[in-house]
A and B are shown apart, each in its own frame.
Chain A
Amino acid sequence: MFSSSDKQQDDSDSAPLLVEDLTVAYHRKPVLWDVEFQIPKGSLVGIVGPNGAGKSTLLKAIMGLVPIATGSIKVFNTPYRKARAKVGYVPQKESVDWDFPVTALDVVMMGLYKQIGWCLPARRHHRTQALRAMEQVGIADLAHRQISQLSGGQQQRTFLARALVQNADLYLMDEPFAAVDASTEKAIVEILRGLKKEGKTAIVIHHDLQTVNSYFDHVILLNMRVVADGPVEEVFNQENLNKTYGGRLTLLEEVSEAMRRRERSL
C-alpha cells in the first residue's frame, strides 16, 4: 500500500503509531475531533494544515502531554508510556526561552537524562555521545556556546541533536523547518532521509506546502480532523488541500467557537 521500503510489510502490527478516534479539548473547546490514522514503519510523514488546526496538539496528545477526551493511541503497539524510550521529540523552537543559562551541549545532553538516571551527574561517555549527535547535525564546533548566541538554524539543529542522541525509532518533530536558513533546511532533510534509511519513522509538522512532495512520502492533512492521509502522491492534491485550508471546515470551527462563547458566558 505504501511506497516505502519492503521490510515493513511483515510487522504491520507493530506500526510505529496507531491513533484511533482521538478527541482532544482545551477547556471544553474541541481541538481535535475523531482523529484516526496509522503510520507505516520507515516512512517520513508530513502533517500539514492551517494555523490552529491542532497539529502541535496532536503530537502532544500522542505523548500524553495534553489530556485526551476519548480515543486510543498505540506507539509500537503499546501505550506511549511504555514506548517512551523509542520516541524522540523535537518541540517547537519557540516553546522555550533561549536566554536560558545553558550551552548547546547542555541542551543536547538533556536527551540522555533518562539514560543517565535520576539524581546522577552525566559521565564522560554521555558527553561523547552528545557530541557525536551534534556532529551529525553539523554543530559540534558550537558545543560550548551559550544557546542565545546560536542562530535560529543552529538552535533548531541543537533540538534535533537532542532527539537524535536518544537513538529513537519514531521521531515527532514540531515545525523543524520553521524559520531556518537554507543550509539548515538541507541538513534536516538529509537527516530525515538517513533516518528513513535506517528503518526509522519521522512525523514532521510542516508548513511549506511546496516542499511536501519532495520531503515526505506520506502526508496527513489535518484541520481539527483528518481530512486525508496516505502516500503523498495519492492524497496530496488540490481537492484535499482545499478541504483542509478552504471554507468547508469552517462549520466545525463555528461550532467550537459557539461552544467556547457559551462556556465564557457561564
Chain B
Amino acid sequence: MSATPAECAPSLESQSFAFESLVAVSEQTTNVWSQLQRLLFLQDYNTRVVLFGAAMLGGAAGVVGVFTLLRKRALMGDAISHATLPGITISFLAASIWGFDEKSLPLLLVGATVTGLLGVSTILLLRGLTKLKEDTSLSIVLSVFFGAGIALLGIIQQMPKGHAAGLESFILGKTASMVVSDAQLIAAASITCLAGCSLLFKELKLLCFDENFAGSRGYPIVKLDLILMASVVVISIVGLQAVGLIMVVALLVTPAASSRFWTDDLTKMTLISAGIGMFSGVIGAAVSALYPRLPSGAMIVLFCATCFMISMTLGVKRGLLVRSLRRLKINRSIGRQHFLRTMYEVMEQKQQLGLEQSITINDLLPARSWSKNRLATIVSRSAREEWITRIHQEVRFTKKGRFEAERLTREHRLWELFLIHHADIAPTRVDREADHIEHVLEPEIVAELELLLIEDQRELPQSPHGFDHWKQTDDSKNGNQKPNGNQKPSAEPPVSRARTGK
C-alpha cells in the first residue's frame, strides 16, 4: 500500500473533513499541548461529535459483546468484520465507475454490510453442507473474504484516479478521517444497538443462559439470535472507521471478558463492559486525532488490553490475585484443621496409654508428613488465632480450639467409617481418603453420616485404624511418610457399635 494515512489527509476535501483540518493545524504548529487542551475541554464542535461517536460505539460494543461472549459467539464478529472489506472496495469501485462520491460513508457501509452478511451465511452454509466444525469454516471464510478485499484494494490503487487513500482507515481505523456526519451515523447506530439490548435485556439473558428453557416458554430462539447477530453486524460495520476491520472484534470481546473478573452479576457486568468500551473508544479516538499516524484501532485495542490485564489480575471476583489469596486461605485452614485434629488424636492416645497429657511439638512432628518448619509455622499461626496456647515446646488447646478439634476429629472419623462400611475401602487407607474429603463436609452431610453410622450422636466415634504413628515415634523419625498408611492397624475398627446405628 503506497499511500500512508498522512498522505491521504490533504487529498481529502478540506471543508468536509473538519476534524482532519484540526489535525493539520496541529501539525503546522506542532503544539500538541494546546491541541490536547482543546481536546480535553471539548472546545471544538467536531472533536466533541467524534468523541461522542467513539464513546457510543465503545459502549454499544461493550454491551453487545457481553451477550455474544455469553452466547459463545465471540469469533463471529471477527468473521463479519473481515468479510466487509470486499464490500467496501466494490462499493468504492462501483461509485467511481458510475460517478458517485466514492468516499460517501453510507455507500461504503452498505457494501460492507452486504459482504459481511454474505460471509456469515457462507460460514453457516459450509457448516451445514460439509461436516466441518464452525471454527474451520470460520477461518476459511474470514481469510478468503479478507484476501479478496485486499486484492480489490490493490486494483483500486492501480487505477489512474487513485483515490484509494481513505480506504486504509477502514482496515486499521482512523478517527482523524471522520467527518461530523460519519460520527453522527456511528452514534445513531450504536445508540440503537444499546437501546435494543437494554430493552431485550432479560430475554437475551435467558437466551444465553438456557436456550432450551427459553424455547419451552415460547421465546423465538432463532429471532433473538438474529437480533443479537444483527447487533454484532451493526457494531462491526459502524466500528470499521474508528477501529478498523481487523481489530473491531477486540472492542466486542475484550471489555466483556474484562468485566467478568469484577462481578458475578450480569447487569453490573454489562455496565462495566460498556464503561471500559466507552473509555477505550474515547482514548483511541483522541489519540488518533492528536497523532494522525497512530491508527485509532491500535490505540483502542491496546487500551482494551490494558484494562483486561488489570481486570485479570486485580478483579475482585475472579482476578488472579483474589483467587490465589482465596486458595492460600483454604490451604491455611486445611493445615490448621489437620494440626488441630492431630493434636487431639495424639492427646487422646497418650491418655489411653496412661501417659502424662502435656503435648510438645516433638510429639506432633512424627504424626503427619510435615516438616519441622511447616509445623512450626502452623503452630505459631494457630497460637496467634487463639486455637492453642504455647509455652516453649508445650502446646495446649484453648477452649475454642478444643471444641474445634473435637468437631474436626468427629467429622473425620465419621467419614472414615462411611468409607469403610459403605464404600468398601480398606481401613488402612481410609485416613488418607478421609483427609481429602473432610474439609468439604457440609453440616447436612455430617447429619446424614451421623444418622447412618452411630447410635449415640453426641459421642465421638473411635478411630477405625488406630494410631501407629504415636507408638512408632522412634521408627519413623524421618517423618516423611505417613506411618499409618502402610502399617497394619493395631486397633480393631469399632464395627459392631457403628453398625447398630442403622
Q: Which of A3-11, A13-21, A89-97, A246-254 lies at the binding interface? A: A89-97
- B263 and A122 form a contact (CB under 8 A): no
A63 at the interface (CB under 8 A from B): yes
- B216 and A181 form a contact (CB under 8 A): no
B437 at the interface (CB under 8 A from A): no
- A101 and B213 form a contact (CB under 8 A): no
- B210 and A110 form a contact (CB under 8 A): yes
Enumerate B421-479 residues with CB–CB distance to A below 8 Å.
442, 444-445, 448
With an 8 Å Cβ cutoff, the count of chain A residues facing the other chain is 34
B206 at the interface (CB under 8 A from A): yes
Q: Give the CA-CA distance A159 to B385 in the complex, in Å.
A: 41
B302 at the interface (CB under 8 A from A): no
Q: Give the CA-CA distance A102 to B265 in the complex, in Å.
A: 5
Enumerate B265-284 residues with CB–CB distance to A below 8 Å.
265-266, 269
B200 at the interface (CB under 8 A from A): yes
- B444 and A183 form a contact (CB under 8 A): yes
A45 at the interface (CB under 8 A from B): no
Report which residue of A95, A101, A114, A116 has the largest number of chain B beta carbons within 10 angstroms of its beta carbon. Answer: A101
Q: Give the CA-CA distance A101 to B217 in the complex, in Å.
A: 21
Choose among A63, A101, A102, A148 the residue that contacts B216 (Cβ–Cβ < 8 A).
A63
- A114 and B212 form a contact (CB under 8 A): no
Q: Give the CA-CA distance A106 to B70 in the complex, in Å.
A: 16
- B210 and A91 form a contact (CB under 8 A): yes
Choose among B70, B217, B264, B442 the residue that contacts A114 (Cβ–Cβ < 8 A).
B217
- B206 and A110 form a contact (CB under 8 A): yes
Cβ–Cβ < 8 Å partners of B200 in chain A: 118-119
How far in angstroms is the closest Cβ of chain B from A124?
16
How far in angstroms is the closest Cβ of chain A from B215?
5
- B215 and A65 form a contact (CB under 8 A): yes
B260 at the interface (CB under 8 A from A): yes
Cβ–Cβ < 8 Å partners of B354 in chain A: none
Known: A95-B210, A96-B210. A87 touches B444 (CB 8 A): no
Cβ–Cβ < 8 Å partners of A245 in chain B: none
Q: Give the CA-CA distance A151 to B448 in the complex, in Å.
A: 16
Cβ–Cβ < 8 Å partners of B205 in chain A: 102, 106, 110
Q: Secondary structure of the A side of the interface?
A: mixed
Q: Give the CA-CA distance A158 to B125 in the complex, in Å.
A: 38
Q: Give the CA-CA distance A6 to B185 in the complex, in Å.
A: 67
- B215 (CB) vs chain A CBs: closest residue: A65
B208 at the interface (CB under 8 A from A): yes
- B212 and A146 form a contact (CB under 8 A): no
- A96 and B209 form a contact (CB under 8 A): yes
Q: Give the CA-CA distance A97 to B70 in the complex, in Å.
A: 9
Mask: chain B, 182-223; 1 = CB below 8 Å from A; 0 = not: 000000000000000001101101101110110111110000
Known: A65-B215, A87-B216, A102-B265. A110 touches B209 (CB 8 A): yes
Enumerate B200-250 residues with CB–CB distance to A below 8 Å.
200, 202-203, 205-206, 208-210, 212-213, 215-219
Known: A100-B208, A101-B266, A118-B203. A162 touches B216 (CB 8 A): no
Report which residue of A91, A122, A148 has the largest number of chain B beta carbons within 10 angstroms of its beta carbon. Answer: A91
Report which residue of B70, B202, B269, B445 has the largest number of chain A beta carbons within 10 angstroms of its beta carbon. Answer: B202
Known: A63-B216, A183-B448. A100 touches B209 (CB 8 A): yes
- A113 and B206 form a contact (CB under 8 A): yes
Mask: chain B, 249-266; 1 = CB below 8 Å from A; 0 = not: 000000000001001111
- B212 and A60 form a contact (CB under 8 A): yes
- A91 and B444 form a contact (CB under 8 A): no
Known: A113-B206, A113-B217. A91 touches B265 (CB 8 A): no
Known: A65-B212, A87-B216, A162-B213. A101 touches B264 (CB 8 A): yes
- A63 (CB) vs chain B CBs: closest residue: B216
How far in angstroms is the closest Cβ of chain A from B501?
16
Cβ–Cβ < 8 Å partners of B263 in chain A: 101
How far in angstroms is the closest Cβ of chain B from A149?
9
A103 at the interface (CB under 8 A from B): yes
Q: Give the CA-CA distance A118 to B442 in the complex, in Å.
A: 40
Known: A101-B264, A119-B199, A183-B444. A63 touches B215 (CB 8 A): yes
Report which residue of B202, B216, B265, B442 has the largest number of chain A beta carbons within 10 angstroms of its beta carbon. Answer: B216
- A84 and B202 form a contact (CB under 8 A): no
Cβ–Cβ < 8 Å partners of A181 in chain B: 444-445, 448
- A87 (CB) vs chain B CBs: closest residue: B216
- A110 (CB) vs chain B CBs: closest residue: B206
Mask: chain B, 68-92; 1 = CB below 8 Å from A; 0 = not: 0010000000000000000000000
Cβ–Cβ < 8 Å partners of A162 in chain B: 213
Known: A96-B210, A100-B209, A113-B206. A89 touches B216 (CB 8 A): yes
- B266 and A91 form a contact (CB under 8 A): no
- B198 (CB) vs chain A CBs: closest residue: A119
Q: Give the CA-CA distance A162 to B213 in the complex, in Å.
A: 10
Known: A181-B444, A183-B444. A122 touches B202 (CB 8 A): yes
Mask: chain A, 112-133; 1 = CB below 8 Å from B; 0 = not: 0110101101100000000000
Choose among B212, B218, B269, B448 the residue that contacts A101 (Cβ–Cβ < 8 A).
B269
Cβ–Cβ < 8 Å partners of B210 in chain A: 91, 95-96, 110
Q: Give the CA-CA distance A65 to B212 in the complex, in Å.
A: 7
- A91 and B212 form a contact (CB under 8 A): yes
Q: Give the CA-CA distance A146 to B265 in the complex, in Å.
A: 8
Cβ–Cβ < 8 Å partners of A102 in chain B: 205, 209, 264-266
Cβ–Cβ < 8 Å partners of A148 in chain B: 264
Q: Give the CA-CA distance A182 to B266 in the complex, in Å.
A: 32
How far in angstroms is the closest Cβ of chain A from B65?
14
Interface residues of B (CB under 8 A from A): 70, 199-200, 202-203, 205-206, 208-210, 212-213, 215-219, 260, 263-266, 269, 442, 444-445, 448
Beyond the given A102-B209, A122-B202, could you list 19 further A-B residue pairs with CB under 8 A, ordered by the A residue number?
A: A63-B215, A84-B217, A89-B216, A89-B217, A95-B212, A97-B209, A100-B208, A100-B209, A101-B264, A106-B205, A110-B205, A110-B206, A110-B210, A110-B213, A113-B202, A113-B206, A114-B217, A116-B202, A181-B445
A-B contact pairs, 15 of them (CB 8 A): A63-B215, A65-B216, A87-B216, A100-B70, A101-B70, A102-B209, A103-B264, A106-B205, A106-B266, A110-B206, A119-B203, A172-B216, A181-B444, A181-B448, A183-B444
The 4 closest A-B pairs by CB, nearest first: A146-B264, A89-B216, A119-B199, A63-B216
